[in-house]
């Protein structure tokens, strides 16, 4: 655990420096540690170090880890992977926040999965690439999707936008488009102010562009085991 503690402290120091450089208050950002492919044990170690927000991208893994670690106080589970409609109920049962809503069908399924519970916090994932095969709604389709969620999905609380920067572009340019998407979303849902952006390689640029939620994996956890 000494290495883990050291990497966590190092990343947090880099986040604090970037926040200061952007003239932002430290409390304006939430650092989510992405623990995908790592054992539940690592999440428990992170919890002991004070981490409360963790991210997973596969439903089965999320469900299993949450089941194993249900005794840990105050952990919030962020689902950041492609959401499949037939897994919506399982995602809803284990996630506190879903970052990857990108089409009406998945919004409807997540909303309907627990009609009597508290609304689920969701972000609309925006595709910043030209490749329709990547996750996320095209920027042009963002507002209609937001209107659909606002009008038809009473079980969801729209919180903001999420994106992954394309590999073949400067992250700052991509995140500037995400900031525009955030403005567009807020024209439909003024309270949806979250911007989930920034990974190991680009979280400083994401902070400059206004990110409120960073999803950082390997810089904190170390290299991921093979996904098998």
Listed ranges 45-53, 87-95, 165-173, 210-218: which one lies at the site for ligand PLP (CB under 6 A):
210-218
- Is the CB of 57 or the CB of 188 nearer to ligand PLP? 57
Distances 26 to 16, 187, 207, 211, 213 between C-alpha atoms, Å: 6, 26, 11, 12, 12
* Residues between 138 and 177 with contacts to ligand PLP, criterion CB under 6 A: 164
- Is the CB of 144 or the CB of 225 nearer to ligand PLP? 225
Q: How many residues bind ligand PLP (CB under 6 A)?
A: 13
Q: Count, in order, helices (H) and strands (E) of the chain.
A: 9, 8
- Is the CB of 14 or the CB of 114 nearer to ligand PLP? 14
Angle at which helix 104-112 crosses helix 139-152, to 10 degrees, equals 30
Q: Which of 75, 97, 86, 66 is nearest to 159 (CA)?
A: 97
* Residues between 4 and 63 with contacts to ligand PLP, criterion CB under 6 A: 34, 36, 57
Q: Is 216 an interacting residue with respect to ligand PLP (CB under 6 A)? A: yes
- Report in angstroms how near the CB of residue 117 gets to ligand PLP at its nearest: 25
- Is the CB of 25 or the CB of 167 nearer to ligand PLP? 167
- In the 3-class helix/strand/coil scheme, how is 104-155 assigned residue by residue? HHHHHHHHHCCCCCCCEEEEEEECCCCCCCCCCECHHHHHHHHHHHHHHCCC
If phi > 0 it is left, if psi is from -120 to 50 it is alpha, else beta; for residue 102 that is: alpha
Q: Which residue is nearest to ligand PLP (CB)?
A: 217
CA distance 5 to 139: 38
- Is the CB of 15 or the CB of 188 nearer to ligand PLP? 15
- Is the CB of 32 or the CB of 188 nearer to ligand PLP? 32
* Residues between 64 and 103 with contacts to ligand PLP, criterion CB under 6 A: 80
Q: Is 199 an interacting residue with respect to ligand PLP (CB under 6 A)? A: yes
Q: Is 213 an interacting residue with respect to ligand PLP (CB under 6 A)? A: no
């Amino acid at each position: 655990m000494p290495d883990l503690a050291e990497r966590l402290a190092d990343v947090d120091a880099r986040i604090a420096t970037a926040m200061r450089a952007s003239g932002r208050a430290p409390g304006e950002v939430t650092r989510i540690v992405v623990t995908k492919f790592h054992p539940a044990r690592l999440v428990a170690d992170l919890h002991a170090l004070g981490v409360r927000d963790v991210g997973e991208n596969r439903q089965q893994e999320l469900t299993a880890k949450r089941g194993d670690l249900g005794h840990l106080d105050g952990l919030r589970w962020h689902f950041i992977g492609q959401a499949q409609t037939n897994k919506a109920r399982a995602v809803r049962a284990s996630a506190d926040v879903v970052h990857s809503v990108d089409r009406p069908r998945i919004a409807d399924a997540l909303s309907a999965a627990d009609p009597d519970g508290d609304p689920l916090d969701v972000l609309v994932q925006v595709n910043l690439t030209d490749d329709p095969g990547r996750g996320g709604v095209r920027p042009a389709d963002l507002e209609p999707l937001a209107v659909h969620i606002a009008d038809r999905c009473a079980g969801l609380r729209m919180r903001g936008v999420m994106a992954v920067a394309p590999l073949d572009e400067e992250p700052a340019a991509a995140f500037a488009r995400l900031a525009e998407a955030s403005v567009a979303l807020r024209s439909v849902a003024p309270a949806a102010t979250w911007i989930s952006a920034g990974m190991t390689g680009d979280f400083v640029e994401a902070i400059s562009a206004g990110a409120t939620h960073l999803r950082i994996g390997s810089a904190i956890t170390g290299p991921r085991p093979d996904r098998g």
